[in-house]
Structure 1
Amino acid sequence: MKYLLFAVLIISTLLSSANAANHSPLLISKPKIVGGEVANKDSWPWMSALVFTFSDTDSDLNVAGTQYQSEPFSYSPAGQASANMVDCGLGDKVCTLATNKICLIARGDIDFSDKAMNCQAAGGIGAIIYNNVSGVINGTLGEDFSGNIPVIAISQNDGIILLNNLDNIATISLTIKQQLAQNASCGASFIGDKWLLTAAHCVEDANIEFLKVNIGEFDLSDGANNAKAIKQIYLHPEYDEGSAFNNDIALIELVESIDNASVKLLDNSSSTQLAMAKSPATVIGWGNVNAYGPNDEQPDNSQPNQLRQVELYLLSNDECKNKLAQAHGELNNTTFTPDQVGITDSMICAEFFGDVQKGSCQGDSGGPLVVNTNQGWQQIGIVSYGVGCANAAFPDVYARVGHFTEWINNITQGIAIEASYDFAITPQDRSQITLLTVTNNSEFTANLRFELFSDNFDTHGFSLNTDDCTLLTAKHSCQIQVNFDAKLVGKQKVRIDITTVAADIPTSQSYISAQAVAANSDIESQLSNGSADFRWYSGGDQPWQLDNTEPAIISGIIGEDQQSAVLLTFSGAGSLSFDWSVFSEENPDAADEPFGVLSLIIDEQQINFITGEVAYTKVTIDDLAEGKHQITWLYQKDGGTREGQDKASLKNVIFTPLITPPAGEPISAPSEQITNKSSGGASYFILCLLVMLTLKRRQV
């Protein structure tokens, strides 16, 4: 769920922030199909699904003849185990009574993999991990899991039942299917050659090593072997989730061209005429089929395997604004003007008539809204967002395809560059470098020129090296080097413009952002613990501050959609330990969309985050290699969150250098290692392989 403010409507962060209590005025969700029907299998040959493919696993749990709902942990070994159960608590230590038994373990602030290994180390032959909130856990043991016992997940309620039935025989079974399976996250449409259209919010954090595209898909229960690899994703350079998903469009480039039917795109003028006439339009997707209102609890996942479609009616933007203003006013018992609801020229709206609830819903995002014209079916929109699902008062909102014709052509037929790049938060007086890929998708060799621009004509420490890209032949790529020298504290943003000697070759732009933070001697004195090598920096919207009650620091007082960062730099191999805590509003409905979050970033890689109310917890990061390191603790708040203390804390930061033992003596193993698979109800895991998506077969 997304909530919008009056002025700044939704923020886009690494973790896709959301908020639920002390509600900001406008409630938004990313959509799905409601009230429709199964599509004709051959009607939409260009309809595509964004998928992850994987070896599917079936799990089964039977206790004393009673079957319980269970889910497999990804990377759990296959196998079967049958024995009495033993209560192993949180699984935070070796479960001494587990020999030849099945461990029953509660979810908590310990990695799932550690829980399983503590069971196995005691002689356990299988593990059942039960949730500490409603629903069944959807988790991972991590691709480096070295255990060999089957591990499954069950709900909190079932876990309580089993705690009272420990003497009964439990049978766990995990079976890996031979057939490749797929998990659909969003829809897309094939527009020809090697190009597809989808919503920017579907792919803004996607890892193209694992995300694939299934073109002409109909039934998600088969066909995973047909999924195609992605070469590049181009988000619109002015995509802004903070403005109600404005410019919510992205192009996907496949590794190879595909000989497949494509959908035609409708121009902007025709889109406006059809909207004014309230013309019928059809939306297609694999999204949820259950309707709910803006104040209703989101129902359980109901995404179908087979493609569905539903007919709606277009609205002009003025009609859409007026409808939404009235609906939000009644919902919030206040007055909204049409200009406050966030509808822009890059959007188009559609609604249903009559008593039967119809619309798009979670899972349909990125899919097409099409109209039947005298040229056949043409795409007029891309599923973007909505309020609830199929609610008569709130029209669905789509990206208006005709508004982006020039941008689409610039990328697919001209000089394409990665739309944006955000440098990691940088200590003042240090520098960073990145390489951006430039591709010539035209039929001609291009002489290229690159220039930097900013709103105040000051490039603020940015510079370019474009020597390898001055002459670029057709259908080839090159790379330019972007440099950021962090001299000026604060946030900086520049635009890279590309021009060609031949004016008939279209070009695109890229936006580069960076943020420099200042050295902080107060934090250095408070937390360096005698280490002369520690250098501390802090900044963001507000720097971290000293906690005067103990030798600790706390995040700056920040508002909605803001962040507070503290950085530590040092050199050497060894381990780093610290205690961290957070008191923020957590999202009870979506673990991967926290409202207020404290993130740990090590050498530009996000490792973990905590959210909700988490008391001081010790973390040890082992095996830091020789060289320079930058550790960042980043506290972020979403739009509209006002519950809780809204602060993060840090103390006891200690670096232990690696001491090389004399020849012949082994190096002792570290006692604890943080991973990205935390199992806590407040400390949620991040699936690096799937970025923002999990390995659930069907997803809300």
Structure 2
Amino acid sequence: MKYFLCACLAFTALLVTANASNQSTVPIAKPKIVGGELANQGDWPWMAALVSTYSEVSTSLQVAGTGYDSSPFSNSPADQASATMVDCGIGDSQCSAASNKICLIARGDVDFSVKVDNCQAGGGIGAIIFNNTAGAINGTLGDNFSGSIPVIAISQDDGATLLNLLGSIASLNVTAQQKIVQSSSCGASFIGEKWLLTAAHCVEDANINLLKVNVGEYDLSNGAENAKAIKRIYIHPEYNKGSAFNNDIALIELIEAIDNPAVTLVDLDSSRQLALDNAAVTVIGWGNQTAYGPNDELPANDQPDKLRQVELNLLSNEQCKDKLAQAYTDLEGINYLPDQVGITDSMICANHVGGGKGSCQGDSGGPLLVNTNQGWQQIGIVSYGIGCANAEFPGVYARVGQFTDWINNISKGIAIEPTYDFAITPQHTAQTTQLTVSNNSELTANLTFTLVIDKIGSTGFSLTPNSCNTLVAKQKCTITLAFDAKTLGQHKMRIIINSNDDNIPTSQSFISAQAIAANNVINTQLSSGSTELLWFSGGDKPWLLDNSEAAISSGEISDNQQSSVMLTFTGAGSLSFYWSVSSEENTEDPSSPYDALYLIIDGEKVDFISGEVPYAKVTIPNLAEGKHQITWLYLKDGATSNGEDKAYLKEVVFTPETAPADTSATSPPPVQTASKSSGGSVTYLLLLLTLLPFKRRRS
């Protein structure tokens, strides 16, 4: 079943350039308010928007005296340049004709930042990048961009026009304005002190340095200066366990408590009765406003600035399952049973008889509300839907009453990061990490920590409580968690925290790790038996030789499985390789792939390819001195397979740096890559975001 989230983008610090029986292929939409009305300012004071704030940027372009529409790249220097315009192709190498010129560059094949670097390396003083598809480019040069020349984007049509004007004078300008503006991605609800509720899928890859919360927001066109900084995000540890978007809830902790009205939550028993009564509910948000069906193309974005609301009616889970089973059966001609549609006890459904009203893209994470004898209370969180405001497909919400204990354990008790996943680890290698423990209660707690194995055969974990055995109210500490990869395979365990006082609730943390084996066959094939460039492989199936291409290919994995291969080495320099994939592609949203090959540099996921992508070369320049782990991970979701369902890798070359290395770098370098899903860092303007994969079914 192809699920598209009912909300908007998840924030991430990473820069990405771009058939099971009885499984549906219906797209699940990202929610918005459809068929509703403008909310009254002040009616919902605890409504919040997840936002990115930034300085407004303006651009201009004139060529041969004619003006052209342009748009900025985030992280472009604010400057102006005027000079003769030259063609620099796709910018995949230093532009030798660029000295004291303006570079005209086509989008495609390599990261935007690499294109600009190659322009400046050739002496260029400004860059114009034109699209290779219809529409505008909303792009970023990345946090690590160090170039100093101004960069703007133009359309594909204007790019074709300018190719006929080479040699003309081009004048471009990038100006940063003083006004701070905001862009909203999801909704949230304020539940008191410094805590908010939202959907897990809104924040599962969030960078809290970029994401903020605007509590009590109404009009997104102003008020960006009121956005509050985030201290920590707690995603439910069993999010997606057992069903797509199951337990789709997260807590956001602000750096400081705020004095603002808070919404109260409907308890579990009341939510069940209200659903049986088909009670009237209201959902609010800044999502899109156009309804569409499961087989319709996604409409153009039409998210409003001002908050909107719409009235719906609850369904019992039995009614929701029956309705969805019939809708899937009618749509696909396959007999669906109610228990096959993925509705769990952690969900609650709502719709409008006859359709035309509901939530959609941009509304995710926002509250579903019911008017009780205690006033307005929150009964759900916008999670997902099939199409938008479709009569046959009810919208699905996280049932907040199911999570009362989890919310209280964290916000009023002993909180620990709900999950931690050690990076894929070579066998006989040890890793350690520090996990933060916070006492959010009003009492001093005496604590004990216990490791509980969740998977038979899991070994290698150890825990040191450090100074966390006694924790004063409103204070935090860190425990040390270690994983020694002696035993191959996947390992899972939990950290259980116990308090000496029953009045202090506690939470737990789910830990996972994976140890992969040395692979001498791959080492011989790709590194000529080098003792410095060492290869490891594992996952559900290891990578294998593909002698037809003098390459290696991913193992024969099935749904919800993975196959990984890793290269380890020490030293500064650059790494290059060719990669290819033949897999199921998400054609509606290529940035959120179904089955894909991922590139992970020193534990940070930085790129992927998906679909039918022939061999393309990738160069990772400027790797700093030290130990490096480069991992290629082929990951399948829980549904359809297309193509060969394999990933390929060949011609892996590490070139040591000859000059002394700059050891100050602490984050992965920009990646120069060619892939079907790239052609530049495609992101929403100035958010510095990208989508890591949201899977339709997750393991």
TM-score (norm. length: structure 2): 0.89
> Kindly tell me: are residues 461 and 148 of structure 1, through their superposed partners in 2, closer, same or farther at Cα, counting changes over 3 Å?
closer
- Alpha carbons 1:608, 1:675 under 8 Å: kept: no
The answer for the alignment partner of 1:350 in structure 2 is: 350
- DSSP-derived class of the 1:40 partner: coil
1:176 equivalent in structure 2: 176
Label 1:528 to 1:227 Cα distance change in 2 as closer, same or farther (>3 A).
same
Rounded Cα–Cα distance in structure 1 between residues aligned with 2:589 and 2:303: 17
Counterpart in the other structure of 1:385:
384
Q: Does the CA contact (< 8 Å) of 2:202 and 2:364 recur in 1?
A: yes
Q: Using the alignment, how far apart are the partners of 1:397 and 1:636 within structure 2?
A: 27
- For the residue of structure 2 that corresponds to 1:237, the secondary structure is coil
Deviation at 1:414, TM superposition (A): 1.0
Matched ranges for 1:366-405 at <5 A: 366-405=365-404
Q: Which amino acid in the other structure matches residue 380 of structure 1? A: I
* 1:507 and 2:502 matched: no
Partner amino acid, structure 2, of 1:192: G
Matches within 5 A, 1:57-68: 57-61=57-61
Equivalent residue letter for 2:196: L
Say whether the 8 Å CA contact 2:582–2:642 is kept in structure 1: no
1:577-621 Cα deviation digits (max 9, x unpaired):
322222334334334212332222222122333333333333333
Structure 1 residue 682 corresponds to structure 2 residue 677: yes
Task: Check whether the contact 1:25–1:328 (CA below 8 A) recurs between aligned residues.
Answer: no
In 1, the alpha carbon distance for the partners of 2:237 and 2:111 equals 37
> Is residue 243–residue 344 contact of structure 2 (8 Å, CA) maintained in 1?
no
Given that 1:597 and 1:609 are in contact with CA atoms closer than 8 Å, whether structure 2 keeps it comes out as yes
1:530-555: CA deviation from partner (whole Å, max 9, x where unpaired): 52222211011211000111432111
Q: CA deviation at 1:651?
A: 1.9
Q: Confirm whether residue 194 of structure 1 aligns to residue 194 of structure 2.
A: yes
1:563-586 deviations in Å (ceiling 9; x for gaps): 210012222333333222223343
Which residues in structure 2 correspond to 1:507-526 (within 5 Å)? 507-526=506-525
Is the CA contact 2:618–2:673 (under 8 Å) kept in the aligned structure 1? no
1:80-159 alignment runs, 5 A limit: 80-81=80-81, 85-98=85-98, 102-122=102-122, 124-159=124-159
Q: Given residue 322 of structure 2, which amino acid in structure 1 is its aligned partner?
A: N
Greater shift, 623-632 or 412-421, is seen at 623-632
The more displaced of 74-83 and 291-300 is 74-83
What amino acid sits opposite 1:338 in the alignment? P
Match of 1:574 in 2: 573
CA contact (8 A) 1:185 1:693 kept: no
Write the distance in 1 (CA, Å) between the matches of 2:240 and 2:524. 39
> What displacement does 1:291 show?
1.3
Matches within 5 A, 1:32-71: 32-61=32-61, 69-71=69-71
Deviation at 1:456, TM superposition (A): 5.5
Pair 1:276-2:271 in alignment? no
Give the counterpart letter for 1:682 in structure 2.
S
Size of the aligned set, in residue pairs, is 673
Cα deviation 1:248-303 (Å, max 9, x = unaligned): 11111111110111111111111112111111111111111111111111111111
> Is residue 641 of structure 2 the alignment partner of residue 649 of structure 1?
no
Counterpart for residue 9 of structure 2: none
Q: Is the 8 A contact 1:538 1:567 kept in 2?
A: yes
Conserved? CA contact 2:437–2:478, under 8 Å? yes
Relative to structure 2, which stretch is displaced further, 473-482 or 110-119? 110-119
Q: What amino acid is the match of 1:430? A: T
Distance in 2, matches of 1:322 and 1:352, equals: 16
Moved more, 74-83 or 249-258: 74-83
**Counterparts in 2 of 1:536 and 1:255: CA distance versus 1, 3 Å:** same
Which residue is 1:253 aligned to?
253
Aligned counterpart, 1:297? 297
The Cα shift of 1:359 comes to: 0.8
Residue-by-residue CA offset, 1:214-254 (whole Å, 9 max, x unaligned): 11011111111111111111111111176120011111111
The secondary structure found in structure 2 opposite 1:73 is strand
**2:475 matched residue in structure 1:** 476
Q: Is the 1:125–1:149 Cα contact (8 Å) retained in structure 2?
A: yes
Contact (CA 8 Å) 1:3, 1:640: kept in 2 or not? no
Equivalent pair of 2:140/2:688 in contact (CA under 8 Å): no
Return 156-165 or 396-405, whichever deviates more.
156-165
1:686–1:544: structure 2 CA closer, same or farther, 3 Å change rule? farther
Matched letter for residue 656 of structure 1: T
Deviation at 1:527, TM superposition (A): 1.2
Which residue matches 1:335?
335
Name the residue aligned to 2:632. 633
Residue identity matched to 1:297: E
Q: Quickly say closer, same or farther: Cα 1:257–1:373, change in 2 above 3 A.
A: same
Which residue number in structure 2 is paired with residue 538 of structure 1? Answer: 537
Partners of 1:530 and 1:693 in 2: how far apart?
37
Identify the residue that residue 698 of structure 1 maps to in structure 2: none
1:128 is displaced (CA, Å) by 2.4
Matches within 5 A, 1:655-670: 655-659=654-658
Alpha-carbon distance change, 487 to 114 in structure 1, aligned in 2, over 3 angstroms: closer
- The correspondence of residues 186-265 of structure 1 with structure 2, limited to 5 A, is 186-240=186-240, 243-265=243-265
Residues 65-74 or 268-277, more deviating: 65-74
Q: Secondary structure at the match of 1:468?
A: coil
Unaligned ranges ≥5, structure 2: 5-11, 663-667, 692-699
- Relative to structure 1, the CA distance from residue 579 to residue 88 in structure 2 (aligned partners, 3 Å threshold; closer, same or farther) is same
Is the contact between residue 536 and residue 568 of structure 1 (CA under 8 Å) also seen in structure 2? yes
CA gap of 1:192–1:170, structure 2 versus 1, over 3 A, is same
- Greater relative CO (CA pairs within 8 A, separation 6+): 2
More deviation, 421-430/573-582: 573-582
Report the Cα distance in structure 2 between the residues aligned to 1:247 and 1:531, rounded to whole angstroms.
47
CA distance in structure 2 between the aligned counterparts of 1:682 and 1:259, rounded to whole angstroms: 45
Identity of aligned residues (%): 64
Change (3 A) 1:629 1:121: closer
Q: CA deviation at 1:89?
A: 1.9
Q: Tell me if structure 1 keeps the 8 A contact 2:128–2:151.
A: yes
1:107–1:680 CA contact under 8 A, matched in 2: no
Q: CA deviation at 1:47?
A: 0.5
Contact 2:113/2:670, CA 8 A, preserved across alignment:
no
SS of aligned partner of 1:549: helix
Q: CA deviation at 1:146?
A: 3.8
Greater CA drift, 95-104 or 307-316? 95-104
Please give the per-residue CA displacement for 1:300-325, whole angstroms capped at 9, x wherever unaligned. Answer: 11111111111111111111111111
Is the CA contact (8 Å cut-off) linking 2:294 and 2:386 kept in structure 1?
Answer: yes
| Contact map agreement 2:72 2:153 (CA 8 A) in 1 | yes
Please give the per-residue CA displacement for 1:29-58, whole angstroms capped at 9, x wherever unaligned: 231111112211110111101111111212
Give the secondary structure class of the aligned counterpart of 2:432: strand
Output one character per residue of 1:382-418: Cα deviation in whole Å (capped at 9) or x when no partner. 0000111111110000001111111111111111111
Q: Name which of structure 1's ranges 640-649 and 532-541 shifts more when overlaid on structure 2.
A: 640-649
Change (3 A) 1:179 1:23: farther
Q: Is the 8 A contact 1:579 1:616 kept in 2?
A: yes
Residue pair 2:600, 2:630 contacting (<8 A) in 1 also: yes
Mean Cα deviation higher: 634-643 or 63-72: 63-72
CA distance in 2, matches of 1:461, 1:99: 57
Q: What amino acid sits opposite 1:421 in the alignment?
A: Y
Q: Secondary structure in 2 aligned to 1:527?
A: helix
Mapped contact 1:613–1:682 kept (Cα < 8 A) = no
- Aligned-residue offset at 1:327: 0.7
Aligned to 1:323: 323
Q: Is the 8 A contact 1:107 1:681 kept in 2?
A: no
CA change 1:24–1:520 in 2 (3 A) is farther
Q: Is the 8 A contact 1:142 1:677 kept in 2?
A: no
Worse overlay, 555-564 or 378-387: 555-564
Letter matched to residue 385 of structure 2: G
Q: Which residue identity lines up with residue 285 of structure 1 in the other structure?
A: G
Map residues 414-493 of structure 1 onto 2, 5 A cutoff: 414-455=413-454, 459-493=458-492
Q: Distance in 2 between matches of 1:674 and 1:75?
A: 15
1:651–1:176 Cα change, 3 Å: same
- C-alpha change, 1:433 and 1:100, in structure 2 (3 Å) is closer
